[in-house]
Structure 1
Amino acid sequence: MALDPSTGSGLRRLGVQRATTVLRHGLTFWRRSIQARVVASTVLLSALVIGIVGVFLLQQTRDGLLEQREAAAVGEATRVTEEAQDSLDGVPATETDVALQLGELVDPIVELGLTRDFAVVLSGPAGDSRIADSAQYTPRLDKTSVPSALEEHFQGNATTAFTYTELRRETSDGDVVAEPAIAVGSQVRLPADSRTYTLYYLFPLSDEIATLQLVGRAMLTAAGLLLLLVAGLTWLVTRQVVTPVRMARRVAERLAAGQLQERLRVSGEDDLARLATSFNQMATNLQRQIRQLEELSRVQRRFVSDVSHELRTPLTTVRMAGELLHDARGEFDPTTARAAELLLSELDRFETLLVDLLEISRFDAGAAVLEIDDLDLVDVAHRIVDATSALAAQNGVMVRIEADGPCRAEADVRRVERIVRNLVTNAIDHAESGDIVIRVASDEHAAALAVRDHGVGLAIGEAAMVFNRFWRADPARARTSGGTGLGLSIAMEDTHLHGGWLQAWGRPGEGAQFRLTLPRRNGGVLRRSPLPLVPVDATEPVA
């Protein structure tokens, strides 16, 4: 039954996905496991060394077996030839039949070869052409087994010689089998015609090959067992080292998660035990210092909160007196009247500072909570612009809003308004020329509001410091809004409560831009902002 092509492609994609998953998990395990890398490296290096040693030993064994076989083959061929020559020399001088003497020469050697597993070929008289078709040889032997180089050697040379060849024989089934062999050539003189004939002995190397194969299998088995032993020993050794390290990692992760009471178990007196002891001492010192810092922070927060609360009562009394003086300033001389006005102004600033300090103390204590509602950032921007219009007019700037439509999000209306108010008043404080532009935009996942001014701007590195408490870019610059230096810090804390981003960009002489990005849904995760952090009208920096 044929498969649907779409089913086949789906199966291939599934197979590719599974293979990719397995590969990814394998690579992750390889990167994270030092034990696996050490074991693999040790096994690979051991395999390389064992392979080199094994090849060297096999080569030495092969050379030894061949040298031994060469000596034995030449010795046996020489002995058989000498015996055959002695037998021919003992033939009566009256016997001059060449064919008869050739038979008496070859037949015993052929029978001996059949019992001792070697073959023989008798070539024609020296000086003739190579082995003729009429040459006598061991039955079923292929005469081409005698190498040409050895034949050429005896075309004018009488010394015994040998070389390697391939022994080819015909089986009873008519097939031809071949095996490596040593070919040894030697010459005899035939009394019947007083001419020299060449005997070629072919000694198979089957026993030596079997021995080499046996040695190779034994060495391969030994190498495999040795690699397994090396891998096991390496795994055990690395486990003894890696296990304490893994325990230390787990304890360090728990310490980082706030479980300061976690400690390593110490056993023995070796280096790892001393490392565990030092680690525990470090954890104890860190725990003590962290608790001291927590206690100090708690005391500081309590102090700020208590002072802020305690100052509210006398501040109320002072404010009542200040308002009375301010209302009656028309009856005072000009200097006293001006002092009454300054008194009320500074009392307003002091009260704002107390409110901000109380809010900061709530953030530090983790007591700040959100009151989620559905809001429109465009409406928020309009309300803030209306509330700060007098301050903007006093500084001679105009605040305008650019929005394509409603921009809704789930957020705390009071806190978002405070963030936008702090950004706008900060822009009015630092604006020197040009309008202040509030841009509002949104996408499927996020809503953003950016406040752009064209004032003094921010130097390199100040964009990250501008949200620090009481930090000012230019301490000599006067505030026109009566700020406390905590507005942007509170704005950042409010933004963090919403899970949003509050970022700043600035360049000296080109002004600054602050961007607020909030998730459209409460608890959502931000991945990008609908508005760019760098304004579109910013010039490219000079390299």
Structure 2
Amino acid sequence: MADRGGRSALSLALRRLRLRWFRLTDPLLGPVRARWRRSLRLRTMAVTGLVTGFMILVSGAFVLTSVGDDLYSSRRDQVLQDSARATLAAQGQIDASDATDRAAMLALSASVQRVLQDTSSSQLIYVRRQAGQDPAPDALEDFTTSPSLAETVSPELSAAVVRGEAPQHWQAVTLVADDGSQSPGILVASTLTLPAGAGIYDLFIGYSLAETEQTLGFMSRTLGITALFLMLLIGVLVWTISRIVFRPIRAAADASRRLAAGESDARMPLQNDEHFDELSENFNDMADTLQARIDELDHLSEMQKRFVSDVSHELRTPLTTIRLASEVIRSQAKSDDAAGLRAVEVLGTQIDRFESLLGDLLEISRYDAGRVTIETEPTNLVSLTEEVVAGLRPLSESDIEVRVLGGYSSVDVDPRRIRRIVSNLVGNAIEHGEGRPIEVTVDSNAGAVAIGVRDWGVGMDAAGIAHAFDRFWRGDPSRKRTLGGTGLGLAIAREDAAVHGGLIEVWSKIGEGSHFRLTLPWGGGESFVSPIPLVPGDVDPEGGAAGTAAGWLRRTASRWSGERKR
């Protein structure tokens, strides 16, 4: 358990560190990350480039290593052969000499030095008497052609020469020229045996590898330039291939985007590839099918609109006749015939509902046909709202309060349509308010004027909110309706608000009621912010209701304390 807790803490710490890193680098790397996530082509090119670069790097390193080892081995073999040849020539010169005194030994020394310089390809020569020998009166002094060469002889190389396990010994060293420049080299050691008891001498010949280093550097630069050229060439190749490979995908995306934008003739061209051509044909068949279906639905919708409009107009005449007949029956009904009077009353009520339904259908058909005209005039929405509420109060069991926080200035609207919107919203609140208080708020700001209708009734769930403005939709068809209704009220209200450049929004929650908000811009402006919050202030953001009818009563007591606007 402790180990698991430690791993969890470590994982959490790493996650926090990662999030912090992303936050710090987001201003600089954020667009790159977003582009990386969105573009398959970029990811393909980047991965291909990285893999290719790694392969070129590994191949170049292998080639350089192989060539460098080969050059070094070849140069080493040449150096050893050259040193052996010079050593044999010098030893032959010594063996041919019959020097027995010091003068002859000095002459022999000069002769050996000339032979070494003439035979060897290197002029870096160092000859010294081998350590550990007895003193000899005719021994020669050490000599060298480069003072710095003696400093390059390591103790290990000297010991190997003394042991004499091989004719030659060599060591990689750094040679220092007279001007102080350094270069890699090889130091070859061998021995010379002088006559007349002069003893054994160590011969060191230094060979510079500067030319080999220059050759290797030239090859490195050549390989680097070649690798760069290959990377550029591969980059162009990958870019070209990606354009060719992704062209059908771009064509499909372009065709789908055009089709989604409403271009019914958008089609995907053939790509001269077996699989992509199959994709193009299937896509085009799908587009043809969708277009045919859309045309069919448009035709059916047009027929439906025409049917609703024609039926609504045609029903006007029989409805008028039925109303006249009901008036005649009403006038001839006897006062003592209770059943007849009740039947006449029910007939009149249903005729009124039928007439209201026809009116709504005609209004919807006008909106569908795009033949709606509004007659605007300066209207005080406060007075209009109070008139509508006053007319509905006798029909309501709920206490309806009008809170005026603003909106006193007149606004150019069609008063008939705005009155219909407010009547629909308040009527719905009465229908679903469960007899609880209803609050109607009017407010305004610099950009808009709004009317909100709040009830504490049954409320709606998310599905109900989504369908609240659909035609003929009712949240609970089994509920008893107080004011009648056709199911078209909110649909017409939304169209009435839209024709004024405004909108209707709704907040609702089961058990906490609903809040409908109508917002109209001043002067028909396109950008505005509603002065009334959509979520009521008495709602707890964490899910509970902060107040119900009691809260409404408290607000009623202080409704005149709000700030007056406009």
The TM-score with structure 1 as length reference comes to 0.84
Contact 1:163 1:184 in 2 (8 A): yes
Contact 2:405 2:444 in 1 (8 A): no
Alignment of 1:168-179 (within 5 A): 168-170=176-178, 175-179=179-183
Rounded Cα–Cα distance in structure 1 between residues aligned with 2:463 and 2:125: 97
State which drifts further: 418-427 or 71-80.
Answer: 71-80
Rounded Cα–Cα distance in structure 1 between residues aligned with 2:410 and 2:93: 122
Rounded Cα–Cα distance in structure 1 between residues aligned with 2:194 and 2:183: 32
Alignment of 1:288-303 (within 5 A): 288-303=292-307
Deviations 1:263-290 (A, max 9, x none): 3333646222222222222221111111
Rounded Cα–Cα distance in structure 2 between residues aligned with 1:195 and 1:52: 54
Rounded Cα–Cα distance in structure 1 between residues aligned with 2:70 and 2:513: 90
Alignment of 1:448-527 (within 5 A): 448-526=450-528
Contact 2:505 2:518 in 1 (8 A): yes
Deviations 1:15-42 (A, max 9, x none): xxxxx99999988877766545433432
Q: What amino acid sits opposite 2:60 in the alignment?
A: G
Alignment of 1:90-105 (within 5 A): 90-92=96-98, 94-96=100-102, 99-105=106-112
Deviations 1:488-543 (A, max 9, x none): 122223334445442222222221112233444425135x543332212124327x
Deviations 1:198-245 (A, max 9, x none): 222221112222222232233223323323332333333332333333
Contact 1:162 1:185 in 2 (8 A): yes
| SS of equivalent to 2:524 | coil
Note the C-alpha offset of 1:414.
3.4
Rounded Cα–Cα distance in structure 1 between residues aligned with 2:58 and 2:149: 39
Rounded Cα–Cα distance in structure 2 between residues aligned with 1:107 and 1:176: 26
Rounded Cα–Cα distance in structure 1 between residues aligned with 2:411 and 2:189: 104
Partner of 1:533: 534
Q: Which of 356, 360, 363 is the matching residue for 2:364?
A: 360
- Is structure 2 residue 200 aligned with structure 1 residue 199? no
Note the C-alpha offset of 1:293.
0.7
Partner of 2:317: 313
Rounded Cα–Cα distance in structure 1 between residues aligned with 2:203 and 2:374: 111
Q: What amino acid sits opposite 1:45 in the alignment?
A: V
| SS of equivalent to 1:213 | helix
Instruction: Give the superposed CA RMSD.
Output: 3.2
Alignment of 1:261-280 (within 5 A): 261-266=265-270, 268=272, 270-280=274-284
Contact 2:471 2:491 in 1 (8 A): yes
Deviations 1:439-464 (A, max 9, x none): 23334444433211011112343221
Rounded Cα–Cα distance in structure 1 between residues aligned with 2:493 and 2:433: 19
Partner of 1:55: 61
Q: Which of 79, 99, 118 is the matching residue for 1:73?
A: 79
Contact 2:454 2:513 in 1 (8 A): yes
Rounded Cα–Cα distance in structure 1 between residues aligned with 2:458 and 2:468: 14
| SS of equivalent to 2:315 | helix
Rounded Cα–Cα distance in structure 1 between residues aligned with 2:450 and 2:186: 92
Q: Which runs of 5+ in 2 are unaligned?
A: 1-25, 134-140, 545-566
Rounded Cα–Cα distance in structure 2 between residues aligned with 1:521 and 1:216: 76
Note the C-alpha offset of 1:423.
1.1
State which drifts further: 202-211 or 156-165.
Answer: 156-165
Rounded Cα–Cα distance in structure 1 between residues aligned with 2:198 and 2:499: 120
Contact 1:119 1:141 in 2 (8 A): no
Rounded Cα–Cα distance in structure 1 between residues aligned with 2:98 and 2:241: 84
Seen in structure 2, the aligned counterparts of structure 1 residues 124 and 61 have a Cα distance that, compared at 3 Å, is same
Paired residue total: 509
Contact 1:349 1:483 in 2 (8 A): yes
Rounded Cα–Cα distance in structure 2 between residues aligned with 1:281 and 1:460: 37
Note the C-alpha offset of 1:304.
0.7
The TM-score with structure 2 as length reference comes to 0.81
Contact 2:504 2:516 in 1 (8 A): yes
- Is structure 2 residue 350 aligned with structure 1 residue 346? yes
Partner of 1:163: 171
Rounded Cα–Cα distance in structure 2 between residues aligned with 1:361 and 1:31: 48
Contact 2:381 2:407 in 1 (8 A): no
Rounded Cα–Cα distance in structure 1 between residues aligned with 2:127 and 2:383: 118
- Is structure 2 residue 220 aligned with structure 1 residue 216? yes
Rounded Cα–Cα distance in structure 2 between residues aligned with 1:118 and 1:463: 101
Partner of 1:397: 399
Partner of 2:560: none
Q: Which runs of 5+ in 1 are unaligned?
A: 1-19, 129-133
Q: Which of 104, 115, 122 is the matching residue for 1:108?
A: 115
Contact 1:402 1:437 in 2 (8 A): no
Contact 1:388 1:425 in 2 (8 A): yes
Contact 2:89 2:115 in 1 (8 A): no
Alignment of 1:428-467 (within 5 A): 428-467=430-469
Rounded Cα–Cα distance in structure 1 between residues aligned with 2:365 and 2:155: 106
Q: What amino acid sits opposite 1:205 in the alignment?
A: L
Deviations 1:331-383 (A, max 9, x none): 25111111111111111111111111112222223333555555554344223
| SS of equivalent to 1:503 | strand
Rounded Cα–Cα distance in structure 1 between residues aligned with 2:378 and 2:31: 44
Rounded Cα–Cα distance in structure 1 between residues aligned with 2:467 and 2:69: 80
Deviations 1:390-448 (A, max 9, x none): 223xx242232241453766654433332222111100111124421122333444443
- Is structure 2 residue 139 aligned with structure 1 residue 122? no
| SS of equivalent to 1:241 | helix
Seen in structure 2, the aligned counterparts of structure 1 residues 329 and 106 have a Cα distance that, compared at 3 Å, is farther
- Is structure 2 residue 184 aligned with structure 1 residue 180? yes
| SS of equivalent to 1:388 | helix
Rounded Cα–Cα distance in structure 1 between residues aligned with 2:222 and 2:365: 80
